[in-house]
Chain A
């Protein structure tokens, strides 16, 4: 049984530099890092110190608010560095890998006897729990709240997003086992696939299958939840990335935390965009060296896709949730009279004040230039074009800026995540930072409403 959902609104940004669907090899570096900031809303409490010898899957820190949730090491080795920022906030925990490859083993009880509580405990101690995120608020799931359903979005519509189907190749059985595990934690699992999907994903048992047809952000799990089983005040929904479902499955098969994930290194600044199998938290530099950079001017490396990712340095590491690394040129140059309408059609625009709409097949080599400056909100109707939900984006953003909690609730703050507003960042002619406004508003809600 499945339901078809067709979404008309949205925008696909035709960025150049899509990865070829072939797994590439590279020489990984031995350094790894875990960034606590990847786990929004978690205050880390350290369980290790510099110089400690650790195994794969050994806890590095736990959550202050839920001490049973462990965040574990993606590799065996030695803790080389714990970097702290202002007010001793932990910025990153760096690990130098060793050859021993010791791993922490967990005992998995037989699957027929396992209780939901056992599963939760195993997820906590194995380090798999943070894979489960919670809506509302887009944070690591609170284990004390019962979710009405779990959503898995197995389609990517983000610019140059890693292909889910390809990323899961060879991990089909892990994925199925992961679904079996998750089924014990809630009543209903919703699996959303592309309307063109033909793979094993169409035949997963015990899930509600939904076929999604539409432009970005149709692949955003928040948009899918909105159309399938919307979040009302007080509801909790869990969301998990498809690759992470397979990692959970792999853990329940072997009893070891599996940090191996397929990642796409993409973008207009990449010479040979490709897929790799990497360890969570491993260094970015060898990947970038492998794919090559096609520009002499400065390039920005983004952990994630170009709409929602965050900037990282060449010596930093892959984020915890990433399945994409994007490289684009920095755009710190001036364009004389660049604001004239109908000029600069090498910059993709949703607006028809540029001629890019006449070239639907063209792909673009976009950079980080703002193409303007922040202004008052004047133009109306453009946000609605990229918001395929029954939510009034501009009104919600204004209430978020005014910190009016009652109105934010009434206008649907519980249903959105920053990523759903990424296209508003992109298309806004007033150059507003919609994702930041939504993130701040969600944090305000966590503090005020909980």
Chain B
């Protein structure tokens, strides 16, 4: 039934017809509803059930618990600063009012650009943006104006992705590029102590600083471990709850969609580095316990959902270990040594995105060297 209607709608877009150029756009809608009837033409005659849509949607499923908590926490932070003890529903409602429009803007802007490029380049629309489009609002401060979200997404998709050749070719993680763009272009909206809680600037004498922000300015934090772990703290929308991020991580690891090597590598790198700084202990951030370093800020969210982006990460198995460990180390280094950027994980991942091809290069070279060595040792005895 639905199929018949779709086939009728698709007719003008078929080969040789009037709107052939726009076929990728209509195909994107069609394949969203139906797995197409394509059969194998060459190569293996049977194919695995997995495809790009399924992979990307799995990531979205992993993001949903974090998103729901993020929406709730946005409302919760808003209400407690005004001194009201709110119900879950009130929190959720307030959060939704703030966050749903951001998600809509992000998807709308990004998908328009994606569709335009797909039509222009004549390839099918890639599903990668389904994840990027959700990630971008989740890592922004809640009070950021909507036009900034739109502009950041446009910048990320155009400059970070399409300029490099589209999906699969980008060097930098598009979602983080969007955040970095907003961070450097509009610093007043992206840092300080007034942006992390919804409408904080309307309430006087309330500190809505993030934990890392207050540590960087030399104060200690008054939050307890359980609060930091569960996430009822100020911060970007989805970064605060390590618990719900771990639920997402579990989904990604069980399904095998994200690389466990990168996650474990990052945690190891960060934990060891932070532990060494604990021993040194020269300032508030250095003496901040290493296990707390792992649960505050965007570290958990970053390494679970951003560092594991397969396109911008290292692609070889060994490379993933190195890449992960270096992200962990760099994240703590930036947090400790650079008070201007108390949140280190974004810059750590972006920096390692740039170096990922170099890491892979050395892993590939070592494979090539092994092969050459084997050849030489083979020649000798003759």
B353 CB to nearest chain A CB (Å): 14
- The prevalent SS among residues of A at the interface is loop
Determine the chain B residues whose CB is within 8 A of the CB of A328 once the complex forms. 45-46
State which of A302, A352, A436 has its C-beta within 8 Å of the C-beta of B254: A352
Known: A331-B39, A370-B36. A350 touches B44 (CB 8 A): no
Does A429 count as interface, using CB distance less than 8 angstroms?
Answer: yes
Q: How far is the CA of A232 from the CA of B169 in the complex (A)?
A: 32
Q: Are A369 and B47 in contact (CB under 8 A)?
A: yes
Known: A338-B35, A341-B255. A379 touches B55 (CB 8 A): yes
State which of A339, A352, A380 has its C-beta within 8 Å of the C-beta of B310: A380
State which of B31, B166, B368, B375 has its C-beta within 8 Å of the C-beta of A373: B31
Q: How far is the CA of A326 from the CA of B367 in the complex (A)?
A: 37
Stretch at the interface among B13-21, B120-128, B182-190, B200-208: B120-128
Does A332 count as interface, using CB distance less than 8 angstroms?
Answer: yes
Known: A379-B55, A392-B367. A350 touches B48 (CB 8 A): yes
Which A residues, 278 to 300, have Cβ-Cβ distances below 8 Å to chain B?
300
Known: A339-B57, A372-B47, A373-B38. A351 touches B256 (CB 8 A): yes
Which A residues, 368 to 416, have Cβ-Cβ distances below 8 Å to chain B?
368-381, 384, 390-392, 394-395, 410-412
Determine the chain A residues whose CB is within 8 A of the CB of B360 once the complex forms. 395
State which of A335, A412, A429 has its C-beta within 8 Å of the C-beta of B50: A429
Does A157 count as interface, using CB distance less than 8 angstroms?
Answer: no
> What does the 1/0 interface line of B24-62 toward A look like (CB < 8 Å)?
000000010111111110111111111111110110010
Q: Are B38 and A394 in contact (CB under 8 A)?
A: no
Determine the chain A residues whose CB is within 8 A of the CB of B374 once the complex forms. 230, 232
Q: How far is the CA of A377 from the CA of B169 in the complex (A)?
A: 9
Q: How far is the CA of A370 from the CA of B43 in the complex (A)?
A: 11
Q: Are A347 and B49 in contact (CB under 8 A)?
A: yes
Q: Are B47 and A422 in contact (CB under 8 A)?
A: no
Q: Are A332 and B44 in contact (CB under 8 A)?
A: no
Stretch at the interface among A71-79, A204-212, A255-263, A306-314: A306-314
Does A141 count as interface, using CB distance less than 8 angstroms?
Answer: no
Q: How far is the CA of A138 from the CA of B166 in the complex (A)?
A: 35
Determine the chain B residues whose CB is within 8 A of the CB of A233 once the complex forms. 375
Total of A-B residue pairs, C-beta within 8 Å: 217
Interface size range of chain B in the complex: 35 or more
A412 CB to nearest chain B CB (Å): 6
Q: Are B46 and A306 in contact (CB under 8 A)?
A: yes
Does A449 count as interface, using CB distance less than 8 angstroms?
Answer: no
Which B residues, 322 to 379, have Cβ-Cβ distances below 8 Å to chain A?
360, 363-364, 367-368, 370-372, 374-375, 378
Does B81 count as interface, using CB distance less than 8 angstroms?
Answer: no
A21 CB to nearest chain B CB (Å): 24
Q: How far is the CA of A434 from the CA of B255 in the complex (A)?
A: 24
Does A54 count as interface, using CB distance less than 8 angstroms?
Answer: no
Determine the chain A residues whose CB is within 8 A of the CB of B372 once the complex forms. 410
Most buried by B among A15, A232, A233, A391: A232
Does B100 count as interface, using CB distance less than 8 angstroms?
Answer: no
Q: Are B51 and A334 in contact (CB under 8 A)?
A: no
Q: Are B53 and A372 in contact (CB under 8 A)?
A: yes
Most buried by B among A308, A344, A370: A370
Q: Are A336 and B50 in contact (CB under 8 A)?
A: no
State which of A371, A379, A410 has its C-beta within 8 Å of the C-beta of B47: A371
Q: How far is the CA of A261 from the CA of B197 in the complex (A)?
A: 77
Known: A338-B34, A339-B57, A375-B127. A426 touches B48 (CB 8 A): yes
Determine the chain A residues whose CB is within 8 A of the CB of B380 once the complex forms. none
Does B283 count as interface, using CB distance less than 8 angstroms?
Answer: no
Stretch at the interface among B101-109, B142-150, B313-321: B313-321
Least CB separation from A415: chain B residue: B371
Least CB separation from B3: chain A residue: A334
Q: Are B51 and A390 in contact (CB under 8 A)?
A: no
Q: Are A435 and B43 in contact (CB under 8 A)?
A: yes
Known: A232-B378, A338-B35. A422 touches B44 (CB 8 A): yes
Determine the chain B residues whose CB is within 8 A of the CB of A331 once the complex forms. 37, 39
Known: A376-B167, A381-B259, A436-B42. A348 touches B310 (CB 8 A): no
Determine the chain B residues whose CB is within 8 A of the CB of A340 once the complex forms. 54, 57
- B contact set with A: CB distance below 8 Å: 2-3, 31, 33-40, 42-55, 57-58, 61, 124, 126-128, 166-169, 254-257, 259, 310-311, 313, 315-317, 320, 360, 363-364, 367-368, 370-372, 374-375, 378
A-B contact pairs, 9 of them (CB 8 A): A332-B37, A334-B36, A335-B35, A336-B35, A370-B38, A371-B47, A371-B48, A380-B315, A395-B364
- A contact set with B: CB distance below 8 Å: 13, 15, 159, 230, 232-233, 300, 302, 306-309, 311, 326, 328, 330-341, 344, 347-354, 356, 366-381, 384, 390-392, 394-395, 410-412, 422-423, 425-431, 433-436
Q: What 7 A-B pairs have minimum CB-CB distances, sorted nearest first?
A: A372-B51, A376-B168, A338-B35, A425-B44, A347-B49, A339-B53, A232-B375
Instruction: Apart from A232-B374, A339-B57, A395-B316, list 5 A-B contacts with CB within 8 A.
Output: A351-B256, A395-B360, A426-B44, A429-B52, A434-B43
